[in-house]
């Protein structure tokens, strides 16, 4: 992005974007000049944050209604998480898994218990958790199920988003994610999301696993029909296929439950966790399953230098403790109902559809009111941070610690931004 014009009041404009201060423009230009252009951020430069609010380099405050794609579920600067991090910083931050650390045991034990499983594979980013689960599912297929060598298949969903590695984008159907990145990893079969019959028909003797998001986040908060997750569970159990639930965005309180699968009374074989597991402090991800599945990993067959590091484990443990108390899930459920009701009233007034669960909403914008990015830019001017996805959808995922009054303000400002 280049600065198009410096106006006499010291504000600058970029083509098609609102005027910004000289300080904001300078910060943006520095990033644009030296950071790879793999994102198209809204023109706001955050300097600090607390709870649901962030402050930019000009001292303007914004309500953060994206929460780093649900990584900040427990709020910016959450005192419990910062205290856990500070205490661990003074003890030890990294040992590698060549040695044991005193911090890892309490974390993996607590996380396994939270998920009702007995084993955890700690990793760092969400994509690594997904990659790890693919490897585990393939090994499980060969060593436990008896699938012919190198023939294992994993069923994935149309519209999926599971991260950015070469193998993960190999089964994406989003051209933005795949163009120019081939050759792709084989071994994946894609079926329509929400169609249990199509899933059942795709299962064959070599099927190792079904990998799905219980609600598709990046695709626009796509909620499958009621009963779908239960049907997937029933089919995969009967066909002896692993059900892998990628709860990296849907999990850990966002939808009013510990896991979105809980909302359908479903227990998958494998949970994939990330984002909020690190409380927005450090990257922490995990594959959580029983030992009959994760037990296929043996020393040297998989690893990560930073996976399960003491700092990550200390923060992750405090996240798990918070979720064990249940207050976050209850708050997301209660405030979520309020949010969905408020947004639902906008249907027919610039909004064509609202989808969501808990404190998580995808709002489709009537194209005659502009694109979703246009709406996000108007929201930005009104002190609300939100993000568009796939052209016409605005995604909202405020921190669960948001005040009721702030949530009501969000709905009011959304309505005002449509009337623009």
Ligand X SMILES: *Cc1c(COP(=O)(O)O)cnc(C)c1O
Beta strands in 274-380 (DSSP E): 285-289, 351-356, 361-365
Q: Which residue is nearest to ligand X (CB)?
A: 126
Catalytic residue among 246, 269, 388, 406: 246
* Integer Cα distance of 65 and 63 in angstroms: 6
Q: Does 398 bind ligand X (CB under 6 A)?
A: no
Q: Report in angstroms how near the CB of residue 57 gets to ligand X at its nearest.
A: 25
Comparing CB distances to ligand X, the nearer of 280 and 310 is 280
Catalytic residue among 74, 161, 171, 259: 161
Q: Report in angstroms how near the CB of residue 265 gets to ligand X at its nearest.
A: 21
* Integer Cα distance of 13 and 22 in angstroms: 10
Q: Report in angstroms how near the CB of residue 344 gets to ligand X at its nearest.
A: 24
Comparing CB distances to ligand X, the nearer of 128 and 406 is 128
Q: From residue 309, how far is each of 76, 129, 236 by CA, in Å?
A: 22, 15, 34
When binding is defined by CB under 6 A, the residue of 62, 74, 140, 161 that contacts ligand X is 161
Instruction: Give yes or no: 403 in active site.
Output: no
Residue pair 319/277 in contact by the 8 Å Cβ criterion: yes
Q: From residue 373, how far is each of 68, 298, 350, 402 by CA, in Å?
A: 17, 47, 14, 23
Q: Report in angstroms how near the CB of residue 67 gets to ligand X at its nearest.
A: 12
* Integer Cα distance of 338 and 239 in angstroms: 40
Q: Does 280 bind ligand X (CB under 6 A)?
A: no
According to DSSP, residue 10 is labeled S
Q: Does 364 bind ligand X (CB under 6 A)?
A: no
Q: Report in angstroms how near the CB of residue 217 gets to ligand X at its nearest.
A: 5
Beta bridge partners of 286: 122, 273
When binding is defined by CB under 6 A, the residue of 56, 131, 153, 213 that contacts ligand X is 213
Q: From residue 68, how far is each of 35, 63, 101, 227, 281 by CA, in Å?
A: 19, 12, 29, 30, 11
Q: Report in angstroms how near the CB of residue 128 gets to ligand X at its nearest.
A: 7
Give the range of 17-25, 242-250, 313-321, 388-396 binding ligand X by CB under 6 A: 242-250
Q: Does 277 bind ligand X (CB under 6 A)?
A: no
Q: Does 193 bind ligand X (CB under 6 A)?
A: no
CA torsion 321-322-324-329 (nearest 10°) is -160
Instruction: Give yes or no: 366 in active site.
Output: no
CB atoms within 10 A of CB 414: 26
Q: Does 163 bind ligand X (CB under 6 A)?
A: yes
User: What SS3 class is residue 359?
Assistant: coil
Q: Does 153 bind ligand X (CB under 6 A)?
A: no
When binding is defined by CB under 6 A, the residue of 51, 122, 220, 274 that contacts ligand X is 274
* Integer Cα distance of 66 and 394 in angstroms: 10
Residues 6+ apart with CB under 8 A from 137: 152, 154, 208, 209, 211, 242, 244, 270
Phi and psi at 101, nearest 5°, equal: -120, 150
Instruction: Give yes or no: 195 in active site.
Output: no
Comparing CB distances to ligand X, the nearer of 8 and 37 is 37
* Per-residue contact flags (x/-) with ligand X for residues 113 to 132, judged by CB under 6 A: ------------xxx--x--
Q: Report in angstroms how near the CB of residue 133 gets to ligand X at its nearest.
A: 11
Catalytic residue among 74, 171, 188, 275: 275
Q: What angle do CA 59, 63, 65 make, to 5 degrees?
A: 140
Catalytic annotation, residues: 161, 246, 275
Task: Give the interface with ligand X as residue ranges (CB under 6 A).
Answer: 69, 125-127, 130, 161-163, 213, 217, 246, 248-249, 274-275
């Amino acid at each position: 992005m280049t600065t198009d014009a410096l106006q006499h009041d010291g504000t600058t404009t970029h083509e098609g974007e609102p005027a910004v201060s000289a300080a904001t423009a300078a910060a943006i230009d520095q990033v644009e000049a030296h950071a790879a252009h793999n994102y198209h951020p809204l023109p706001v430069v955050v300097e600090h944050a607390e709870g649901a609010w962030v402050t930019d380099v000009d001292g303007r405050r914004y309500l953060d209604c994206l929460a780093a794609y649900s990584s900040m579920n427990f709020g910016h600067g959450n005192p419990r998480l910062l205290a856990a991090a500070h205490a661990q910083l003074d003890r030890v931050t990294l040992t590698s898994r060549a040695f044991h650390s005193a911090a890892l045991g309490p974390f993996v034990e607590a996380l396994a218990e939270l998920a009702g499983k007995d084993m955890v594979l700690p990793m760092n980013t969400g994509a690594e958790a997904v990659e790890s689960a693919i490897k585990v599912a393939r090994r499980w297929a060969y060593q436990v199920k008896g699938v012919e060598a190198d023939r294992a298949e994993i069923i994935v969903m149309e519209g999926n988003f599971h991260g950015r590695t070469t193998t993960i984008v190999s089964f994406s159907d989003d051209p933005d994610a795949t163009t120019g990145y081939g050759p792709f990893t084989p071994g994946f079969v894609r079926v329509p999301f929400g169609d249990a019959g199509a899933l059942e028909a795709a299962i064959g003797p070599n099927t190792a696993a079904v990998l799905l998001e219980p609600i598709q986040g990046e695709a626009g908060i796509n909620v499958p029909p009621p009963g779908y997750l239960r049907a997937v569970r029933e089919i995969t159990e009967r066909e002896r296929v692993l059900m892998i639930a990628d709860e990296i965005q849907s999990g850990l309180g966002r939808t009013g439950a510990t896991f979105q699968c809980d909302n359908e009374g479903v227990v998958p074989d494998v949970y994939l966790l990330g984002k909020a597991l690190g409380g927005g402090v450090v990257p922490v991800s995990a594959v959580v399953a029983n030992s009959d599945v994760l037990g296929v990993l043996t020393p040297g067959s998989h690893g990560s230098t930073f996976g399960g590091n003491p700092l990550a484990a200390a923060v992750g443990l405090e996240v798990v403790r918070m979720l064990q108390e249940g207050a976050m899930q209850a708050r997301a459920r209660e405030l979520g109902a309020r949010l969905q009701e408020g947004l639902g009233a906008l249907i027919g007034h610039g909004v064509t559809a609202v989808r969501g669960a808990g404190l998580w909403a995808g709002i489709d914008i009537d194209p005659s009111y502009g694109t979703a990015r246009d709406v996000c830019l108007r929201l930005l001017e009104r002190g609300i941070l939100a993000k568009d996805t796939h052209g016409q959808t605005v995604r909202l995922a405020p921190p669960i610690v948001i005040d009721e009054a702030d949530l009501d303000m969000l709905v009011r400002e959304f309505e005002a931004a449509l009337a623009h």
